[in-house]
Amino acid sequence: RRRVVVVGAGMAGVQTAVALREQGFTGTVTVIGAEPHQPYDRPPLSKAVLLGTAEGSAFDVDFEALGIELRLGCEALGVRPGARLLDTSAGPVPYDALVLATGAEPVRLPGTEGVPGVHLLRTLDDAEQLRPVLARQHDIVVVGAGWIGAEFATAAREAGCAVTVVEAADRPLAGALPAEVAAPMAGWYADAGAVLRTHARVARVEPGAVVLDDGTRVPAGAVVVGIGARPATAWLAGSGIALGAHGEVLADEQLRTSVPDVHAVGDCASFPSRRYGERLLVHHWDNALQGPRTVAAGIVGAEAGEEPPVYDPVPYFWSEQFGRFVQYAGHHTAADTTLWRGDPSGPAWTVCWLRGDRLVALLAVGRPRDLAQGKRLIDAGTPLDPGLLTDPARPLKAA
Ligand code: FAD
């Protein structure tokens, strides 16, 4: 019988195992995960789990009933593709098909490794360490005004902490959004009672303070670093599996790696997007939900001698920050026109990005209907009259 081994027990790994069973795979399925906990979902870690309004976020999956073997607290150390062996902390594991789903690791602030009071926010253990920090209502410094920084700052303000967010760029979300779109978001920090300091680089962390490179000392009972994440693939060095410039596994459009019978999915892998004509490295939840279906179909189809399906999603993610529900669909880098629906200083607005007369991406703040309608237009590639898009009272439709 065929043996599928999945490395990584996060969303992408677990969904791959589930999708294999849904698609009728009858061989053995083993999921290997480094963390000791029952597999869990990450988005609640910066929201309900952090605030203590939810105890945990374990996936509601009956692994036993599905015949999925979990090996937790077990770390993959290397792959020997020639021998079809995965080396782990518990010894070698043979596979017929291997799925890499090791996700991403947060980038550390140089010089802060092991410094007490400096936290990351990626794992359940991180969130559990941060809960009492919020409860103590310290002065908290958040390094990085990205998605994680904004969500953590939101929770910390809700918990009654004094929050300063220091950001090296001139605005929040500088890596993700153009300046004109991120500009209104800067005001959200102040509205929530958090201080946002842009152009602020951390020189060092001292007991009780973060020192910026202009000499400013910002009092800090605790520091939370949210400056990005990198694919967790160091363990693949020397395996022959091709990696890209950010350390991501270079998957093809069927989510197969450069090595036979090894697939890659979720935060650890990039794939070529037909739709956008470039390689995408997506670090969002929906990609870890959709990609696994393609991987499973590829594995199941290969047994039947079928051509595997192509993965070509309209990327989607959401963020909950400062009382707002922010949603994004598509990919805007090749857009030539930016259109606004609604007033960006108000509570609800949408930005549409077009290339020619096609919608390629949109960001909706408090307008979930825009998101749903816009995502359909992006997916279908429907030609649009841009003049009709700017009236927020009209549905986001072609005509
Ligand atoms: P991961 O969830 O990182 O899982 C990978 C797993 O593999 C980990 O458990 C890791 O321990 C394990 N692993 C790594 N290396 C090895 C190894 N060598 N051997 C064995 N196991 C290994 N996305 C959104 O769209 N919206 C949100 O609101 C949102 N909120 C988020 C909030 C937080 C705090 C975080 C951290 C992320 C959030 N995301 C959000 C992103 C989303 O959670 C990720 O895109 C998703 O978790 C990716 O799933 P994954 O399975 O690819 O990787």
Instruction: Report pLDDT digits (tens) over 51-81.
Output: 989 888 999 999 999 999 999 999 999 999 9
Q: pLDDT class for 17, splitting at 50, 70, 90? A: very high
* Whole-number pLDDT of residue 99: 98
Angle at 252 between CA 373 and CA 381, to 5 degrees: 25
> How would you classify residue 111: left for phi > 0, otherwise alpha for psi between -120 and 50, otherwise beta?
left
The amino acid at residue 54 is A
Looking at domain 3-105+229-303, does it have CATH number 3.30.300.20?
A: no
Instruction: Report pLDDT digits (tens) over 76-127.
Output: 999 999 999 999 999 999 999 999 999 999 999 998 988 889 999 999 999 9
323-388 shares the fold of 3-105+229-303:
no
Q: Are 27 and 96 in contact (CB under 8 A)?
A: yes
- Rounded to an integer, the average pLDDT of 327-349 is 96
Q: Are 202 and 211 in contact (CB under 8 A)?
A: yes
Nearest CA to ligand 1 atom 52: 266
C-alpha distances (whole Å) from 191 to each of 184, 287, 347 are 11, 32, 12
Mutate to test the pocket of ligand 1, among 284, 371, 375 (most ligand atoms within 8 A of CB): 284
Lowest mean pLDDT among 108-117, 307-316, 340-349: 108-117
Q: Give the whole-angstrom CA distance, residue 23 versus residue 16.
A: 10
Q: Give the whole-angstrom CA distance, residue 309 versus residue 298.
A: 7
Q: Which atom of ligand 1 is nearest to the CA of 104?
A: 3
Instruction: Report pLDDT digits (tens) over 190-221.
Output: 999 999 999 999 999 999 999 999 999 999 99
Instruction: Give the bridge partners for 352, in sequence order.
Output: 339, 362
pTM over 0.90: yes
Three-class SS of residue 377? helix
Report whether residue 148 contacts ligand 1, using a CB cutoff of 6 Å. yes
Q: ipTM score of the complex?
A: 0.99
pLDDT at position 1 over 70 = no
Residue 351, token pair as written in the block:
């930005």
> Where in the chain are the domains?
3-105+229-303, 108-225, 323-388
**Of how many residues is the chain composed?**
399
Q: Give the whole-angstrom CA distance, residue 133 versus residue 45.
A: 14
Looking at domain 323-388, does it have CATH number 3.30.390.30?
A: yes
Report whether residue 150 contacts ligand 1, using a CB cutoff of 6 Å. no
Instruction: Give the bridge partners for 162, in sequence order.
Output: 139
Report the share of the chain in percent with pLDDT over 70. 99
* Whole-number pLDDT of residue 397: 86
Mutate to test the pocket of ligand 1, among 32, 88, 95, 102 (most ligand atoms within 8 A of CB): 102
DSSP-derived secondary structure letter, 234: G
Looking at domain 108-225, does it have CATH number 1.10.3720.10?
A: no
229-231 vs 85-88, strand pairing mode = unpaired
* Whole-number pLDDT of residue 141: 98
Q: Which atom of ligand 1 is nearest to the CA of 42?
A: 43
Residue 340, token pair as written in the block:
């606004």
Look at the block and give the residue holding tokens 């594991």: 93
Look at the block and give the residue holding tokens 């009071």: 117
Q: For the chain, how far is it from start to end, CA to CA, in angstroms?
A: 54
